[in-house]
Amino acid sequence: MVDIKKCFYTTILSQTISTDGKYLFCGNNFGEILVYSIDRIVSCSETVANDPDKLPTEPQLVFLLPEKCQVYSLSFHKDFLIVGLNGEICGYHWNGKNGTIGKRTWTVKLPASAEYTDINEVNYLWLDTDNEVLYAGCGDNVMYAVSLEDGRVIRQYQGHKDYIHCVSGCAGRIATASEDGSVLLWDARQTTFTGKLEPHTNAALARAEFGKWQGTVSITEDWLVCGGGPRFSLWHLRSLECTTDFAFPDRLHVSGFVDDGIYAGGDCRNLYQYSFNGDVTAEIPLSSPAVYSVVQQTEPNRFMAIAGAASQIDVCTNFSYRDIVLNAYKK
């Protein structure tokens, strides 16, 4: 039987989806990785829509990391579940046929820093699948590029003055959001940043009561959204001009592009979706008082999972409203 206190104090810090789109992985603050079958969830939701108690809402597997430390970030590549810990990135073999996590197959130790030995968390992982390069935003203010072919750290991107919260990439361009209040833009081939945004210096975006930090960034070929302490905002990448600011009510931790719109979440019991001109197109109520992770896919099933400061994960199969709530533990 699960300790009731554990249910109350669980925080889902990270999520990822398997390459084949069939499994959801959630990492929490107790060193556990929760595994859910997306196929089973979606198929059951269609057949038992009028009886939610019959939905498979509990994980089919709970994997405890040997370190029992917080699972700061997750990614997935081919048959490997990739886990970002403190100062290292680990790969665990995933057996999709049996739905099991095998032994740790590889570990990448990030360069040690005398200044940040105790706090160099791998806060965020973004995977460039085309080039098989993993980008890690870390607590030592550096973003590392790791080759998944041989496990080498092939580049270090230095420019932030405080730890990195988020990494996003598209078409060879990468953006990083940091506690220092800046969003830096990088060409993947260069170790010096090519552009810099400081939203807190924009009077229309600044919210002094929340601070200057940038908690989230997401980019496409033409657009960038970011937020944190300052207001959530949309920027045109070519001109680096802010075109829209959104009426998100609190601090921000997650953002992204979905269908023809934009989503945002943070210290708020709703996930908001917006049009590019700032209109609210959906307001999804959540189980958690704060959102720290959102993952989505459109194939083979439309599926969005929203998680944060609770032992429940909210699922949207149409991206407009919540229709399933997953539980981290058995009731």
Tens-place pLDDT, residues 136-147: 999 999 999 999
pTM reported for the whole predicted model: 0.94
pLDDT band at 167 (very low <50, low <70, confident <90, very high): very high
* Residue 18 region by backbone torsions, left for phi larger than 0, else alpha for psi between -120 and 50, else beta: beta
pLDDT at 112 exceeding the cut of 90 = no
Q: Enter the tokens of residue 217.
A: 């960034």
Torsion sign over Cα 309, 312, 318, 322: negative
249 with 264: CB under 8 angstroms?
A: no
Encode burial over 241-258: b for 16+ CB neighbours within 10 A, e otherwise: ebebbbebeebbbbbbbb
pLDDT at 23 exceeding the cut of 70 = yes
pLDDT of res. 241: 97
Determine the distance from the C-alpha atom of residue 114 to the mean position of all C-alpha atoms in its chain, rounded to a whole number.
28
pLDDT of res. 168: 98
Q: What is the mean pLDDT of residues 3-31?
A: 92
